[in-house]
Structure 1
């Protein structure tokens, strides 16, 4: 991947940056290129974090000249491939705290830290034509409910758990007009007027295809299963330059990085709710 520079190659950019850094004072180096041993960093994460990571990666690359080789995909599959020693990466943004604990126990993760949290909300088309107020309204006769119960576990499991914990499963299932396997397609149908309400991850309310066409309301946190809410950032044993990896992690988990996660619908680890969840779930290295 080439830097967005005019008339200069990556090699030329790096040589110039290193020469500048050599003559720089500690104060000026903080704002410019920091010479690490490795030129690139391999980063994997749960696919739900992709939009936030794409923005973060672009900022980090522009500031440092380092190339972030990023892959966002189903975290469960990525985690299984890592645990089975079928693949490697240097940093891994994992979903579900238990996965990071397994990676640490297996000696594959050197250490991890809280990354961000997700949440689930009740969503309706703009204007709320059916007058939905809370989860109980999904059980009212005539309400057209659309749920992603055939999607991958992060999309379907918590939704099933929310219905079960609210004692609404049977009543809501009777009102279902769509049982989706793709949350994005289901949301497009919802804003087209084919349904009255759904339960989705809050991050999806920021999606460009429908962020201005929906409204959402919170769900009582006591009803939301805790497992899928947590994301952690792991420094893996395969890391080539731990200093570079920690620098990137500091940026992603720092104030600016967390603001970007919040922009994409996630909960910052520095927010009141984020701090409370860190303590409640024990999101700490083991």
Structure 2
């Protein structure tokens, strides 16, 4: 079975609607799939409804990706199998989205001082009803011809220390793991190599995450080499964490795709090993989210 437990829709900064995304997952032969939008669960209902209406052979897991602040680093934690009706979870996510909005306004102000006028309004228009993210700013700046790629926009304007960067005021890892657990979910450290920490600081992060009750870490992503995957699996075992996999899909591209190259080394315990047995008919879990 192919698992892909990290993806995004237009409910946050993805380019595909939930309906389009679950259909693409099926096309890519994914069996078990999680939608994990940034600080919102708004896309899940449409995903479940599409699977039910089209009778798609896909099990959809309720998920969310939460931005946290740890030692002045922005660390992302994915919640899997969360109860989206949990009042405490929804209140927590609403506060996170308020923080996103405040940060976005300040980013717009800083870019305006750099003579890039209208960036906030442009990014807000692109986000629509979704939570505004740096990706929306990057998309707007590319469309305006300021730079020609997302990567160049981040390097020049939106990365830490650059003109448009605003330090986030996210929740702590401890607060995030606690609320995920309160909603019945599992807390997964997302894309651990993207933080570009030294080995010393990475081990500190894993220690803090494990001590706060974290359940798993992502050990498999599409672009990953065998050495990186093996090393992450070793770290997962050393810190008593399960392993998860995810494409972190945002939009169709040449370097990442749903379900591509997603596997866990045999000596690493999968995060789904504690889940109820997946039905062999791969029926959607829509009824569980109702």
The alignment's TM-score, normalised by the length of structure 1, stands at: 0.29
Higher strand share: 1
- TM-score normalised to the size of structure 2? 0.29
Could you say which structure has the larger radius of gyration?
1
